[in-house]
Every structure is written in structure tokens, then in C-alpha cells.
Amino acid sequence: MVDPRTSVIVERMKDVKKVIAVSSGKGGVGKSLVASTLALVMAQKGYKVGLFDLDFTSPSTHVILGVGDVRPIEQKGIIPPKVHGLKYMSIIYYSGDLAVPLRGADVSNALIELLAITKWGSLDCLILDMPPGIGDVTLDLVRLMKRIEFLIVTTSSQLAFETVKKLIDLLESLKIPVIGLVENMKMDNSETIQRSTEKMGLKFLAAIPYDSKVEESMGKTRELLRTTVSKKIESMLSKI
């Protein structure tokens, strides 16, 4: 028995120049915010960008971007709609506001299905908002995607950084490129995370201070683009 879906994934991605997985060892560090803002900033700069929310059980990028009543077009596959200048794909097109209670094998199957049917067309960059941790999605993507690079997000918390180190270890052992690390929701002037990152031989991409205005900008992309988060992400573009 052969599952034919995996054979078409490479074909679907052939005109995508760069794939960035925004990932972390822990949840709640701001991966979705970094992924969404990065996608928005790049789209504003004129890049052809796609954003794919792969956190199937807890998707949130649609809330950050204020994705309205849009649907993919079915045309020998699925063409993601354009939202705020970027091609946007999420399981919410199929689940709506309902819960998506999936076990690991189901997550894996849903991922392969969506990768096989989604037609991204020509993109400068596809940004993947990853679920937390080193689970099925990370392992499947590493197996199925020829070119994938990871951008790691942590907070200043030692707990978050410890889990991030494990993720980086795994990626390095698999020879998967790590673009660098973003320290999010920084609340003091400590350089501990930056020093530890550079000690591991990785690029420290940005320190994003905690910004209380971010919460007010949920669903309002113009306001989001005016936040410190957005400015910091814009300033790290040259390092990606």
C-alpha cells in the first residue's frame, strides 16, 4: 500500500523560494505573533508571502490578522485566499470556531493532507506557524520538506529557553538550518539569552520588549504594524 499524497508535496512547494518554520519548545512564547507579524512586514515590503497556521488544535493567527469571511478556492487542489497582502491558510476554514480534538496520528494525517492539496504558487517566502514542542508536525515537516529553516522563539524565561535548547539540539543533529533566535516579551535588560544563543553559535535576531499595546492590536493589522514588535521584526529582516 502506498500513500500517494506525499509524492505531490514537493511539486506543490516547487515555486516557494524559502520556507521558515517559526517554532519553540514551549507554548505561549509568542510564536504565532512573531510568525504573523513577520509575514505582514514582509508582505508590506513587497515580498510574495504565505502564512500557514500549523497549530491545528489551537490555531490563533486568524485572530491576530483579523481574517474575515474568506475561503480557499478549489481548483485541482486548494488555492489559499489573500489576506492583508499575504496568502493565508489555516484549518479554521474547515473547523470554523469549533474545537479540533486531534491525536498525534490525526495531526500528522491532517498535515500531509493540507500540504498535498494546498497550491501556494510562486512565493518568496512561506512562513509556518508551528505548534509548540518537538511533536508530529516538526518531525513530519523535517521528513517531507526539502528546504526548511527554523526561526526559534523564546521568552527570557529559563524554562522556555531550556526547551528551546532541546529543539535546537534536535534540529542541528538532523542538519536542519536554524536561522536564529528571537527573545520575545523581554521585560528587563538582561543579556543572558543573547549570550547563551551566541555561545551556541546561533544568530540572535531580535530582543522584542513586552508591549502592552499588542493585545489591543489583535485583529487590527494596521495597529499591529505600528507596535514595537513589528518594528523589531522589521529590523531583523536583513538577518533572515
Partner 1 sequence: MAEAIVNSVMEIAEKEGIEKVTLVQIRVGELQQVEKDILRFALSQLRTSRLKKAKFEIRTEKAKLECRACGHTWLFSKNNLGGNASEAIHFVPDIAHTYIRCPKCGSPDFEILVGRGVLLQSVRGVK
Q: Restricting to residues 45-104, which ones interact with partner 1 according to CB under 8 A?
A: 76-78, 91, 94-96, 98-103
- Of 58-66, 107-115, 188-196, 211-219, the window that binds partner 1 (rule: CB under 8 A) is 107-115
How do strand 49-53 and strand 125-129 relate by DSSP bridges?
A: parallel
# binding residues, partner 1 (CB under 8 A): 29
Question: Residue 70: helix, strand or coil by DSSP?
Answer: coil
Asked if residue 51 lies in contact with residue 88, where contact means CB atoms within 8 angstroms, the answer is yes
23 membership: H or E segment, kind and range:
strand 19-23
Residues linked to residue 47 through DSSP beta bridges, in sequence order: none
CB of 123 to partner 1, least distance (A): 19
Closest CA to 51 of 80, 21, 88, 12: 88
Phi-psi region of 219 (alpha: psi -120 to 50; beta: other; left: phi over 0): left
Choose between 9 and 123: whose C-beta lies nearer to partner 1.
9
Choose between 43 and 78: whose C-beta lies nearer to partner 1.
78
What is the rounded CA–CA span in Å between residue 162 and residue 154?
Answer: 9
CB of 104 to partner 1, least distance (A): 11
CB of 106 to partner 1, least distance (A): 4
3 sits near partner 1 (criterion: CB under 8 A): yes
141 sits near partner 1 (criterion: CB under 8 A): no
Q: Restricting to residues 109-138, which ones interact with partner 1 according to CB under 8 A?
A: 109-110, 113-114, 116-117
Asked if residue 54 lies in contact with residue 144, where contact means CB atoms within 8 angstroms, the answer is no
Alpha helix locations (H) across 145-178? 158-173
- Whether the CA torsion 157, 160, 162, 164 is positive or negative: it is negative
Residues linked to residue 181 through DSSP beta bridges, in sequence order: 152, 204
CB of 137 to partner 1, least distance (A): 13
CB of 94 to partner 1, least distance (A): 4
CB of 119 to partner 1, least distance (A): 10
Choose between 3 and 188: whose C-beta lies nearer to partner 1.
3
Task: Name the site residues for partner 1 (rule: CB under 8 A).
Answer: 1-5, 7-8, 11, 76-78, 91, 94-96, 98-103, 106-107, 109-110, 113-114, 116-117
